Structure 1
Amino acid sequence: MIDFNKELYFKTDKFKVLLDRYEKSTSQGEPFYLDPEDLTDIAEYYQYHECDEKALSTIDRAIYTFPSAVEPLLFRSRYALLRENDVEKAKYYAQQIIDTSDYDYKYLHAEILIHEGKPEEADEYLRMGVDDLSPRERADYVYDVVNLFLDYDALDCARKWIELIDDKSGKDYRETSARCYLLNQEYSQAEELYMQLVDQDPYSAYYWTQLTASQYLNGKISEALQSSEFALAIDSQCEDALLAKANCQFTLGQLADALDFYHRYSALRPNDGYVESLIGSTYVKMNNLEEALIHYNKAILLANSDRSLFIDISKQKALLLSSMGLRDKALLVIEDCINTAKNNIADLHVIKGYIYMDAGETDEGLRQFETAITLSDNDPFIIYQIGTACYDNGEYDLTYDALRRITIENQDDNPIDGWAYYAACCAKMGRADEFLYALRKGCEVNPAEVSIVFSNILHPNIPFTDLYEFIKNKFIK
């Protein structure tokens, strides 16, 4: 995971000269000494730009030349963990690090535990020796641990560590707390803290971009767009700000402008399969399906080394092919994903069922949904996906049964997803009281879903706080 400071370093003349000399030495066979830290920086740069083969070649050279150096082994272990999803390989490289008291080794060991589904064990491991640190070392260590847990969405563990921070008035504390609020979907609180941070440091493109994210997720799309423009005024090449602005424009329906900024981002990150898929989705919105298919195909090629992203984009491609009436091609894409994934394939059977339903083969679609429910052991999120698939295909009785099961009949688990679709389904079926109840719940717990489901009657800038009354007045006269 590349932090913002490392992104800035990649843009410096110092790094550009280093990279140029390294690439000339490798292409021309000229000797050029680099220490392990420099080689690791170059590998991180290649990985950041989705050049995985170059990244691995560089880091393998570093490990061969400096077998006991910590930085290359850290990189290779994390690469195995995050890109190859190979815990055993990650452990293999981690075990070659001699100094196990090194902070970076401790963070890596904790990452492996978290990746194995053991965040509490990682928490216990990281607490060993924390009381022996000096106040300055302890503060730095605690912030590192908090951010590590936040990187893995382990919010409960992160909050325990935040309580160990003594200075709760500083910039670091506000920044870390804002990240927690974002992760916990408390967007107004996050926005307030990022507003304080940009007031304190108005020339930080990073803070403006984070403010953009909090405003966007809080439904303040125009404000988010303005914040992204402030970030770009500070750094016109800020990739996160370019992407954030494009997303705002997409949401506001400014599709041509969104394409322009997605392409500006892609000019800086040409190997980013995710953003290539966003370009495809923009063309879908513009009803240019052939062009969308071209970009989905390109995105799939770029995402080939990231299996999770590869499957996500393939699902989008399959749905596009289905909408184009190309049922058999759509099914082939999903079958390829099922064969590739092997495990955790319930959601792929949902997509398969959607394709059959879209082709008018409702019975086969239902069989695929039953398979998905069985494979997932009645996972509420799979049932949610089935409900939305039925809704999109006009099967409102099926939608009602599925979504009622995970909302009204499952309130002890405080469900977040499904209320908006359930409300829309009730509106279609004339169930006014249930519609209003579900709509209110949706606006309380997941207003973003409400704004998506009812986007055809909403203007883009309506605040989340006004959603309930606005939609109610549209339906209840």
Structure 2
Amino acid sequence: MEYYDDYLSSKEFKDNLLKYETARKQGDFIYMEPDDLTDIAEYYHSKGNWKEAQTAAEYAACLFPGSTSPLAFLSRLALYREHDIAKAQQYADQIEDKSEMEYIYVQAEIMIVDNRMEEANRYLEGHYAQLEDEDKRDFVIDIADLYADYDMPAQASKWLERSEEKEDDDYQELLGRIQMEQGNFEACEKIFNDLIDKNPYSSPYWNQLATSQFQRNDIKDSIASSEFSIAINPHDEEAILNKANGLYRLGNYEEALEYYKRYIRLCPKDETGELYYATTLLNMNRLQEALIHLKEAEKIADSNSPNLIEIDQEMAFTLSRLGHLEEALDYVSKAEALTESDKDEMMVLRGHLYLEHDQQEKAQECFQKAIHHSNSSPHIFLRIAVSVYDNGYIELAYRMFTALLGAVDEKWSEGYSYLAVCCHALGKKEECLKAVKKALEVNPQEAENVLSDIVPKGVDVADYYLYLKNE
């Protein structure tokens, strides 16, 4: 929460970090309290420097065997980075004082990640029932925060409702996060604006506001909120990355590169900056430069990075566009081999690359495999149609989008913008306008991304329909 974010920017923490890093560089022994060493581990974690985070926590656990804070951190790192339930449990078992709240929270997290939801709920309810009233106040906030961290807003909300301190800043901040996770962006932004009115110099509040505005597709206000956060703390990596992402979404690629560069300088051990820098260069058709930064992202990322699939995909796209089809296909194979990858999506990507190199038969074979293996998933059919469109087969893409959108239910929201651009290219104006209207209604973000190909820069998204109607 906000207090902890502020602590990591405090003079006390910076002095501790300097002592620790100086001792590490000189190979000297340094004595520090386990909580202070764990704070240093958390700091490295926030910078994407997983190896140094683990080193600091292991050092603390070695100095203080059985100490709660470093072992709880290591347990969470095993869950988050390695998806290793057994290893996480081994660290948790080493915690000496099993009555400490942090031990209870870690045990619950292990159950949640292991998909033992009912067991986790019974475990937490059992401990809650045993607490004194004054301890219950912090417990419900902490458990709500835990569930919110795992993107489980319904469970988070259930625990938060038990709190009686509804005007407390921690309560309100958590409520704002839950509202955002549930897609209630206006309610979320009202909460964070109220918190900012009380504490206008809180970077974490501005960052949460910027994130909500970005998800609501209010990109200009999101950038403005990020700028307030940067003004408060010019080294706030979250604010800098938020602003870079906003500039990217607006198509201001040159300025986006500047902010991604700032993020890379602040977090050189986090491959995210290099990956996004490369993606921006790809959109500028600066392929050779993009390849350099993708290779750097690949080099930084460890074997447990959640970015590996995206890195491999972008490498495949870039190498293919540079004419290196076989190397590109090797990266598709690398992505396919990752446990978390969607094998059907990867087969579509393989087909896309073949189609890009005019190997229609191989592309068709891949697309058919993806459709068959996915049990004719409409999402996979959509990805194939997009690939066909991107490769310039407009008439075929038109037929595919028409067939797809005629078969899905009324809740379906993807593909209408692509149908619109196909119709525009084929001179089917009435169909185009109908598809544009639907796209703006059900998926304005897709409309902005796709229809910008047929609408001049500077036309507001809300005016796309009128512009195309009157052109």
Same fold (TM over 0.5): yes
Matching residue within 371, 384, 387 for 1:386: 384
Distance (whole Å) between structure 2 residues aligned to residue 338 and residue 325 of structure 1: 21
What percent of counterpart residues are identical? 34
Q: Which runs of 5+ in 2 are unaligned?
A: none
Are 1:122 and 2:116 counterparts? no
Which protein has greater RCO, CA pairs closer than 8 Å, 6+ apart?
Answer: 1
When structure 1 is superposed on structure 2, of 255-264 and 382-391 the one drifting more is 382-391
Query: Within 5 Å, which residues of 2 pair with 1:7-406?
Result: 7-341=5-339, 344-396=342-394, 399=397
Letter of the aligned partner of 1:17 in structure 2?
D
1:266/1:275 contact within 8 Å kept: yes
> How many positions carry a matched residue from both structures?
470
Distance (whole Å) between structure 2 residues aligned to residue 445 and residue 365 of structure 1: 31
Letter of the aligned partner of 1:127 in structure 2?
E
- 1:131-182 deviation per Cα after TM superposition (whole angstroms, max 9, x unaligned): 4544543332222222222222222222323333334444334322322232
Aligned to 2:452: 455
Classify the secondary structure of the residue corresponding to 2:29.
coil
Aligned to 1:474: 468
Q: Which runs of 5+ in 1 are unaligned?
A: none
Distance (whole Å) between structure 1 residues aligned to residue 160 and residue 376 of structure 2: 36
Letter of the aligned partner of 1:298 in structure 2?
E
| TM-score normalised by structure 2 residue count | 0.89
Distance (whole Å) between structure 2 residues aligned to residue 132 and residue 84 of structure 1: 33
2:148/2:178 contact within 8 Å kept: yes
Letter of the aligned partner of 1:278 in structure 2?
Y
1:321/1:327 contact within 8 Å kept: yes
Q: CA RMSD in A?
A: 2.9
Classify the secondary structure of the residue corresponding to 2:282.
helix
2:433/2:465 contact within 8 Å kept: no
Letter of the aligned partner of 2:241 in structure 1?
L
- 1:103-124 deviation per Cα after TM superposition (whole angstroms, max 9, x unaligned): 2222222222222234454334
1:269–1:142 Cα change, 3 Å: same
The structural deviation recorded for 1:319 is: 0.8
The structural deviation recorded for 1:222 is: 2.1
Letter of the aligned partner of 1:322 in structure 2?
S
2:213/2:221 contact within 8 Å kept: yes
The structural deviation recorded for 1:459 is: 4.5
Distance (whole Å) between structure 2 residues aligned to residue 276 and residue 43 of structure 1: 23
When structure 1 is superposed on structure 2, of 135-144 and 254-263 the one drifting more is 135-144
The structural deviation recorded for 1:7 is: 4.1
The structural deviation recorded for 1:458 is: 6.0
2:2/2:202 contact within 8 Å kept: no
Distance (whole Å) between structure 2 residues aligned to residue 460 and residue 137 of structure 1: 55
2:5/2:204 contact within 8 Å kept: no
Classify the secondary structure of the residue corresponding to 2:307.
helix
Distance (whole Å) between structure 2 residues aligned to residue 131 and residue 385 of structure 1: 50
Distance (whole Å) between structure 2 residues aligned to residue 476 and residue 4 of structure 1: 50
| TM-score normalised by structure 1 residue count | 0.88
